[in-house]
Amino acid sequence: MSRRTGHRFAGAALAAGLLAAAGCAAQGAAPDAQGEARTLEFGVPQPPNSLDPIELHDGVQRYVWGSLFDTLLALDHEGELQPNAAESWSYSDDALTLTLDLRDDMSFSDGDPVTAHDVQGTLERTLENAGPQRGNLSAVESIDVPDDHTVVLNLSEPDDNLLVSLAQAAGVIGDPETLDAPETALDPVGSGPYTLNEERTQDGTVYVLDRRDDHWNADTYPFETVTIRPIQDRTAMFNSVLSGELDAGTVDPAQAEHAEAAGLTLTEVEGASLAMLVLADRDGTTTPALADVRVRQAVNMAIDRAAVVESLHHGLGTPTAQIFHPLTAGHAAELDETYPYDLEHARALMADAGYEDGFSMSMPGNIMSTHFQATLVQAFDDIGIELTWDPVPPQTSTQSTDWPAYWNIGGATTPSRVVAQFYAEDGSNNPFGTSDPKLRELLDAVAEETDPERADDLYRQINEFGVEQAWFSPVLWITTIWATAEDVEYVGSAVSPMDLRVFDTAE
């Protein structure tokens, strides 16, 4: 079995000077030597909930929307920031003004040129409407457009998360003249390297993408047509790859040997995603028990992480008690020993908190949680908590106040600055907006810190706070196994964004 592990992350620090104005290096390959059109068909576990920029989520949904929209910046396979739609950028000395210089050869899928006013309109719309990306732009106070290819973001405070956000869903560029049209949610006018084939696409079932040969970065994408099929059932995904219906798809460890025997190439990506419980109702708004840190700590001790890795993932994964990726400076190995599997101690914590007789709660159940639901029900039951699951469609956002906690499997988020924002009052994994004076002080300090070493120390302190206060109950870093056909290669890493640049034509 071939093995590809995550590269060392060399985080892009908050820059005060102008960054190199080089185009993003191509990570794909040209069509084959015979000039025949190359196609790619692969499976993902869930469809995008919407293609409207204010509704976008990072993660596996990016495979679709990342093909239709360009982002201002990009993250490469080592997690480093690179130019993209913005070919250079610079901060003012006080880190309160970010200037982005755009490429001059961009166009939308309808042929109109992409200008700084389009960037301004897209960002302002995200800021003005409730959605999963608004919090990632919360420091943006106003946006100026000195000319057609310059965008200036004026910030209310330094934001060390902003550059990475502009390489993710918050940084997409749409056509403001069409974004409010109903069809944008299903077939937007995009700035990206592909367009949606409306005739062959069925929302929620199959997305067919046609490459734009007029796109400024078309050479990076070797596949003329890409078909993405959301397949929730793991066995169905495996059978589709095995039969040749799909060129690529993820497989379970139990299926790996069979896939390799069938001639498929297997690529392991260690630490590619994090499986965790988000104990979101930390103020006890809907479930008073979760306001007590001892209850949250008891939940952490009730989960046998090592057993989950062995029994549910056949040993392909790493138990964890922290959400900072091992490749980041914010990670502290000793924190993984904070919550050993200890039911006796967990029950004692429940009793000390006044919940010796337990309580009941519900969580949303979807494709991400199905594999783990029975294990979690047993773990909760072992300490007196009656857990029930409310079935929800895969497109439903579980990061809401409808449930006190939820199960989440997210792609590896390696920049420490991004992980730290999970704790922010408007952070993506803080739907109840929980705040804490000590945490607020740390977040404010790291946002203003330009020295990398001092920033790394602050990230470790934020990590320590989160683990001690048990805002989350992380379980494992998942090793993802991609199975690919002989003419397709998976070239991504644990820190690669989930977009089409993780696929290449095989040599």
Is 50 exceeded by the pLDDT of residue 3? no
What pLDDT sits at residue 16? 32
Higher pLDDT among residues 425 and 221, named by residue: 221
Write down the mean pLDDT value for the chain.
Answer: 89
**Cβ-contact 67, 499 below 8 angstroms:** yes
Mean pLDDT to the nearest integer, 166-192: 96
The pLDDT value recorded for residue 78 is 83
Of the candidate CATH numbers 3.30.420.40, 1.10.287.3510, 1.20.1050.40, 3.90.76.10, the domain formed by 51-183 belongs to 3.90.76.10
The residue whose two tokens read 């166009």 is 107
Of the pLDDT bands very low, low, confident and very high (cuts 50, 70, 90), residue 414 is low
- DSSP notation for 131-147: STTGGGGTTEEEEEEEE
Q: What is the mean pLDDT of residues 276-283?
A: 97
Identify the pLDDT of residue 103. 98
Residues of the chain with CATH 3.90.76.10: 51-183
pLDDT band (50, 70, 90) for residue 234: confident
- Is a pLDDT exceeding 60 seen at residue 2? no
Q: What is the mean pLDDT of residues 348-368?
A: 96
Taking only the tens place, the pLDDT of each residue in 383-411 is 999 999 999 987 677 888 999 999 998 77
CB 250 within 8 A of CB 482: yes
Provide the percentage of residues in the chain whose pLDDT is more than 70. Answer: 92
Per-residue confidence band for 35, with pLDDT thresholds at 50, 70 and 90? low
Residue 177 has what pLDDT?
96
The answer to whether 435 and 423 have CB atoms below 8 angstroms apart is no
> What CATH architecture applies to the domain 271-479?
Roll (3.10)
User: Residue 339: what are its φ and ψ, rounded to 5°?
Assistant: -125, 80
Helix, strand, or coil (residue 231): coil
Give the Cα separation of 336 and 133 in Å (integer): 30
Other beta carbons within 10 angstroms of residue 393's beta carbon come to 12
pTM: 0.76
- Alpha carbons within 13 A on the beta-carbon side of 486: 3
Look at residue 4 and tell me whether its pLDDT is greater than 60: no
428 band by pLDDT with thresholds 50, 70 and 90: confident
Confidence (pLDDT) at 5:
32
Q: Is the pLDDT of residue 72 over 70?
A: yes
Question: Residue 401 CB: number of other CB atoms within 10 A?
Answer: 12
Paired tokens of 74: 């990009």
**For position 447, what pLDDT does the model report?**
81
Q: How far apart are CA 102 and CA 72, in angstroms?
A: 8
The H-or-E segment that residue 296 falls in is helix 293-302
Measured CA to CA, the distance from residue 20 to residue 42 in angstroms comes to: 35
